[in-house]
Structure 1
């Protein structure tokens, strides 16, 4: 699973990406399209539950989950028609699982805004429109082939035609596809098209140092818009986060305290991006390691086991499960078992966020 960082040029995308992935290097030039080929990086998803588990189980190492991030070049109005190398950049978005849109919510005369003025809602709408226009083109190109196959009696093609037409009607109402509920069979048939306005989205309000909590007028406008489309907003001062990323402890903690933050805002970005991707974590815990594993919300125990190794899923027998609250109450796995709190779950068990598991399998 990976998320693409998008936005108009000069909104702080690459600064944020570098801070998230702790990438050091020369500062990007202040002009559009300084990012051309997408940069890729890995970011840790902070999880306080790992520390709490290690209060009772002392491992040799602790391993959090990670996200893959892709820094995609700035998109401009007309991208769906090829403006600003738009077709190439949009193809990069088509390949990711979720979109993190950085929105400029700060004034700075030294940083050029591609539209000539700072208007975050207009910026959000510009990119949303380009994604929808690109999806319209994709569907328009796909429909004739699907119709020909449907006429020949292909049942799957008939479902595909219905799905395409349903999407076209929704887009014609100026609504992104992520707000469209589709029958599972239709959703499956068009999944390969990589429709961009169907992807879940998280807005990152890039604020200045006077509005770190995003309560100012510009960030608040993004919040109002996000509520209408069912998305979340995380306020981040990319400039400050870039400075924090270069510091070692305890200098980082001292700087956070001086600006009134309990933790780097990038921790919130990582966790919200994880949630936007539809992921949750379960844990394995032993003397060798305590580890968080990513799993889609709604995944069954065998599917979760498969995240560790495909053999675990193929030969799944059962899963032994307990919770962090059980561990904190009884202090050890042995005592959890003796208290009858260690649950045995089968193939139909749906994983819960924070489950601590042992998988039994045979291949």
Structure 2
């Protein structure tokens, strides 16, 4: 699962990406790796890992990882191939969610591509290009589906019906993600179409240092727009975060205190992006490592076990589960077991975020 960072030129998108994908966001226990140019993997900060280590001694901590793609900047006409439009659209089609960086600060030394700062106009520019590209895709796919549907093909008829609903919505100037489908089969069909405007969006308001909480008028306009679209907003000062990412732990803590932050805003952003993708974590803990494993929300016990090894799912017997709160209260796994708080769950168990698990399997 990947999140793509998008935005107009000169909104701070690359500054934010570089800060996120520097090792500075995490401690020495949080690995970072660059997969290829403009693609990075970052640790998801999770204080629960440290809490677990306070009760279970382990050689190392391994956090969950979030993959990010720094997508080429967009300009008006991208849907027609202007600028790097084709590259932008290809990359955004391949990600699962969008982090839309919006400029919410004034700076005479940083030229805005449209001449003046207007975050709502910027949001509309990108949304419009995505919807125009989707309309082109709908027209192409609709004609093909209609021809096949005339032969009586049931899948083609279903596909055509979904495409017509998407076309009607896009014609109203609304993104595909606003389409409400109750039929699970239609939902699956829509997901397979990979429309650009169907991606979930988190708006990242890039602010100045005097508005770190995002209370200024520009950010409030973005919040209002996001609320109308069912989205969320995270305020981040990309310039400050870039500076923080280059400091050692002690200097970073001092700088955070001086600006009134408890942690880098990038940590908040990373966690928000993780949940935007529909992901959650469970933990395994032992003397060699304490590790956060990434699973989709709603995953069952066997599905969660499979991310460790496919054999774990195939030979799943049961899962022994407790919570971090149980560990805080009772101090040891032995005490948790003796208190009857260690839950034994079977194949139908739906994992909860933050479960600490031992899987039992036989292959």
Say if 1:275 and 1:94 are closer, same or farther in 2 by CA, change over 3 A: same
Alpha-carbon separation, structure 2, partners of 1:314 and 1:180 = 37
SS in 2 for 1:263: coil
Write out per-residue CA displacement over residues 217-254 of structure 1, whole angstroms, 9 at most, x where no aligned residue.
Answer: 11111111111111111111101111111111211111
Alpha-carbon separation, structure 1, partners of 2:313 and 2:148 = 36
SS in 2 for 1:308: coil
Write the mapping of 1:1-16 to structure 2, written as runs, cut at 5 A: 1-16=1-16
> Which residue does 1:327 correspond to in 2?
327
> Which residue does 1:53 correspond to in 2?
52
> Which residue does 1:108 correspond to in 2?
107
Alpha-carbon separation, structure 2, partners of 1:23 and 1:192 = 35
> Which residue does 2:80 correspond to in 1?
81
> Which residue does 2:221 correspond to in 1?
221
Q: CA deviation at 1:76?
A: 1.0
Is 1:301–1:351's contact at 8 Å kept on the other side of the alignment? yes
> Which residue does 1:27 correspond to in 2?
none
> Where do 4+ consecutive residues of structure 1 move more than 4 Å?
none
Give TM-score scaled by structure 1 length.
0.94
Is 1:156–1:189's contact at 8 Å kept on the other side of the alignment? no
Q: CA deviation at 1:163?
A: 1.1
> Which residue does 1:31 correspond to in 2?
none
Say if 1:68 and 1:59 are closer, same or farther in 2 by CA, change over 3 A: same
Is 2:21–2:40's contact at 8 Å kept on the other side of the alignment? yes
Is 2:73–2:84's contact at 8 Å kept on the other side of the alignment? no
> Which residue does 2:29 correspond to in 1?
none
Q: Does 1:297 align with 2:297?
A: yes
Alpha-carbon separation, structure 1, partners of 2:71 and 2:5 = 6
Alpha-carbon separation, structure 1, partners of 2:77 and 2:40 = 28
SS in 2 for 1:3: strand
Alpha-carbon separation, structure 2, partners of 1:38 and 1:150 = 43
> Which residue does 1:288 correspond to in 2?
288
> Which residue does 1:250 correspond to in 2?
250
Q: Does 1:185 align with 2:181?
A: no
SS in 1 for 2:263: coil
Alpha-carbon separation, structure 2, partners of 1:360 and 1:290 = 18
Q: CA deviation at 1:66?
A: 0.7
Q: CA deviation at 1:152?
A: 2.0
> Which residue does 2:267 correspond to in 1?
267
Alpha-carbon separation, structure 2, partners of 1:60 and 1:153 = 62
Q: CA deviation at 1:74?
A: 0.9
Write out per-residue CA displacement over residues 250-269 of structure 1, whole angstroms, 9 at most, x where no aligned residue.
Answer: 11111111111111110011
Write out per-residue CA displacement over residues 58-105 of structure 1, whole angstroms, 9 at most, x where no aligned residue.
Answer: 111111101010001111111111111212211110000000000000
Q: Which moved more, 1:139-148 or 1:203-212?
A: 139-148
Write the mapping of 1:165-180 to structure 2, written as runs, cut at 5 A: 165-180=164-179
Q: Which moved more, 1:307-316 or 1:133-142?
A: 307-316
Q: CA deviation at 1:114?
A: 0.6
Q: CA deviation at 1:38?
A: 6.4
> Which residue does 1:30 correspond to in 2?
none
Alpha-carbon separation, structure 2, partners of 1:38 and 1:55 = 37
SS in 1 for 2:282: strand
Is 2:72–2:87's contact at 8 Å kept on the other side of the alignment? no
Alpha-carbon separation, structure 2, partners of 1:43 and 1:310 = 25
> Which residue does 1:204 correspond to in 2?
204
Any gaps of 5 or more consecutive residues in structure 2?
25-35
Alpha-carbon separation, structure 2, partners of 1:227 and 1:290 = 38
Give TM-score scaled by structure 2 length.
0.94
Alpha-carbon separation, structure 1, partners of 2:232 and 2:330 = 37
Q: CA deviation at 1:328?
A: 1.1
Alpha-carbon separation, structure 2, partners of 1:55 and 1:322 = 16
Alpha-carbon separation, structure 1, partners of 2:290 and 2:354 = 13
Is 2:280–2:297's contact at 8 Å kept on the other side of the alignment? yes
> Which residue does 2:343 correspond to in 1?
343
Alpha-carbon separation, structure 1, partners of 2:139 and 2:186 = 16
Alpha-carbon separation, structure 1, partners of 2:304 and 2:198 = 25
> Which residue does 1:140 correspond to in 2?
139
